[in-house]
Structure 1
Amino acid sequence: MKVITATEHSIPKTPSVVTIGTFDGVHIGHQKIIKKLTTRAAEQNLISVVLTFFPHPRMVLQHNANIKLLNTIAERKEILSALGLDYIFVQEFTMAFAEMSAREFVKNVLVDQLNVKHVIIGYDHHFGKNRAANIDDLRVFGSEFGFQVEEISAQDVDDVAVSSTKIRNALNSGDILTATAFLGYDYYINGTVVRGKGFGKKMEFPTANIRVDEAYKLIPKNGVYIISSMYRDKIIYGMMNIGMNPTFDGNKKTIEAHFFDFNEDLYGQKIRISFLDRLRDERKFESVDALIAQLRQDRTNAQQIIAQRNV
């Protein structure tokens, strides 16, 4: 699989089947569409192309929108690449691109750049300036430019009943299990381990403080979570606190991971944290000893849940 952009000259000349969307999260609904895409490509001897956008259109069109995304663009590419695609075409979404008419988009991007012969698109998809064109308009353009349009029916979409917005809402409320069910994989963040204040180490719970790589990445609701990561090709488990460290009168949000039975130095390393479940809300304790007692209970609870998960 190869990632290409509109500024590159390595755009394939082989006829293609294309689907279009932001694909934030690449959730089970997206995966169903991409499965259909790769199937059609094999049937018709076409190459499969996902046309996606970055930045997210709402980031450009709604200047005050503080939208948080399920994936960074690097994560989106990584997840898509595992689904058997030939190409991912990343279209930079700018105000100039947003002003492009529907016909210009079809001619300049789908036809001239991607040599499209088959488009798979949702029944409610809109495109072009002011999102004025719909699937019926796309069929007209298909007749003009020589490509077929395949509709993803309302029933197909509704059968999955998934949306990126629903997943964001689940994560914002701390509902990790619902997010996992909709995504089809454990939600994760990527970041760099940085030095903190060392409170955890003094309490027998040393933590890795995580600085997330991209500001637009969605961080789940404050609280204590069960997590996993990979270290030297081995899964390690632990728990993570997201929040303000109220027992220590913290005034800055931190993301701190404690791994069970793990003593390696992670400072400066890139790390991926997957969320498995949520244990509790963050709260202020009357003393450090009370916090330590709760952390011990959290560890016991987490290890029991991990053991059940791995049965």
Structure 2
Amino acid sequence: MQVIYSNRSDINFNCSTGVGLGNFDGLHIGHMALINTLIREAKLNGLSSVVYNFTKHPENILRKKLITPLLLTEQKKIDLLSEICLDYLYFDEFNEVFSRLSPEDFVRLILINRLHIKLAVVGYDYRFGYQGQGDTDFLKELGKKYGFRVIVVSPITCENEIISSTRIRELVINGELETAYKLLGRNYSITAKVVNGRRVGNTIGYPTANIHPERFLVLPANGVYITKTLIDGKFYNSMTNVGYNPTFEDCKQKNVETHIIDFNQDIYGKKIEVFFLKKIRNERKFESVEHLIQQISKDMLEAREYFGIGQ
């Protein structure tokens, strides 16, 4: 898969393309169904498959202060899509000038002139152009006018619920990671470099790897989670606390602190990925450090039982 940024490349497609259109802000089961449809139909028709996306979520440009939390970083999106048979991932820059393009101008200037589109694959609720004025019916009309076919993918459901990024965000924010897994098709994860913390974990016998995720990334509800941690291509059993450490002096910044079970390597400065499997309990303030240590011991026992490992 080739990754292309519109503002860093003057590439002109010299081939006809099939293009997947949408925010793809979660790459959940519904998004992947659309992209797999795109890849299959593009191959059948001798087209190059392209997922068209933006470097920034359009809502975070248009709404300014009302930020839409993201379910994955740009790099995670690249990593996930590189695992399938997609030809191109095309990142365009969404800004206020771009947002004022009419639906037809978007099709003509971007899809026709730049991408040489012959097939568009979109979700049932896809909207485009200034203030979302274009819908799937209008896209089909423009397809007839400019000579490309449009496939509209029906909503994908799980347990009678339409899968959407909005719903998955709610689940992650509420700490319902096991349900989020069903809709995402993978465990929710956070990637960041390990940074120096206050080393409180070392003083109580449970050293942690502290990470500060990207600003707009969704963080699970405050609490303790059973997790898996990926370091240098290898998975380790772990337990992760998300929150403000209220038993000690409360932090102003929400922290993600991971204790990697039976692990004693120095990983400061390394990039790690923490996969959230199950919530153990909510974060709370304990009467003393001793009470906190007792609770962490109980949490660790539950984590070890989950992984099927002894003390």
TM-score range, shorter chain: over 0.9
- Deviation readout 1:14-73 (Å, 9 max, x if unpaired): 111111011011000101111111110111111111111221011011012122100111
Q: Give the C-alpha shift of residue 122 in structure 1.
A: 2.1
Per the alignment, residue 294 of structure 1 pairs with 295
Whichever residue aligns with residue 231 of structure 1, its letter is: I
Unpaired runs of 5+ residues, structure 2, are: none
| 1:122-137 equivalences in 2 (<5 Å) | 122-137=123-138
Q: Give the C-alpha shift of residue 153 in structure 1.
A: 3.0
Structure 1 vs Structure 2 CA RMSD:
1.6
2 CA distance for matches of 1:95 and 1:44? 35
SS in 2 for 1:303: helix
Per the alignment, residue 223 of structure 1 pairs with 223
Task: State whether residues 22 and 123 of structure 2, in contact with CA within 8 Å, keep that contact through their aligned partners in structure 1.
Answer: no
1:61 paired with 2:62, answer yes
SS in 1 for 2:166: helix
Task: State whether residues 30 and 163 of structure 2, in contact with CA within 8 Å, keep that contact through their aligned partners in structure 1.
Answer: yes
| 1:1-311 equivalences in 2 (<5 Å) | 1-7=1-7, 8-154=9-155, 156=156, 161-212=162-213, 214-252=214-252, 253-307=254-308
- Deviation readout 1:239-269 (Å, 9 max, x if unpaired): 1111111111323322111111000111111
SS in 1 for 2:307: helix
Q: 1:207 to 1:98 in 2, by over 3 A?
A: same
- Deviation readout 1:132-176 (Å, 9 max, x if unpaired): 12222212211221111112235x568772000010000110001
1 CA distance for matches of 2:165 and 2:207? 34
2 CA distance for matches of 1:100 and 1:139? 18
Larger fraction in helix:
1
Q: Give the C-alpha shift of residue 295 in structure 1.
A: 0.7
SS in 1 for 2:308: helix
Q: Give the C-alpha shift of residue 11 in structure 1.
A: 3.6
Task: State whether residues 21 and 53 of structure 1, in contact with CA within 8 Å, keep that contact through their aligned partners in structure 2.
Answer: no
Task: State whether residues 231 and 271 of structure 2, in contact with CA within 8 Å, keep that contact through their aligned partners in structure 1.
Answer: no
2 CA distance for matches of 1:17 and 1:58? 25
Q: Give the C-alpha shift of residue 9 in structure 1.
A: 2.2
2 CA distance for matches of 1:98 and 1:233? 40
Task: State whether residues 59 and 67 of structure 2, in contact with CA within 8 Å, keep that contact through their aligned partners in structure 1.
Answer: no
Report percent identity of matched pairs: 38
Normalised by the length of structure 1, the TM-score is 0.94
Q: 1:42 to 1:157 in 2, by over 3 A?
A: farther
Normalised by the length of structure 2, the TM-score is 0.94
Task: State whether residues 176 and 275 of structure 1, in contact with CA within 8 Å, keep that contact through their aligned partners in structure 2.
Answer: yes
Runs of 4+ residues deviating >3 angstroms: 156-160
Q: Give the C-alpha shift of residue 231 in structure 1.
A: 2.8
2 CA distance for matches of 1:63 and 1:147? 34
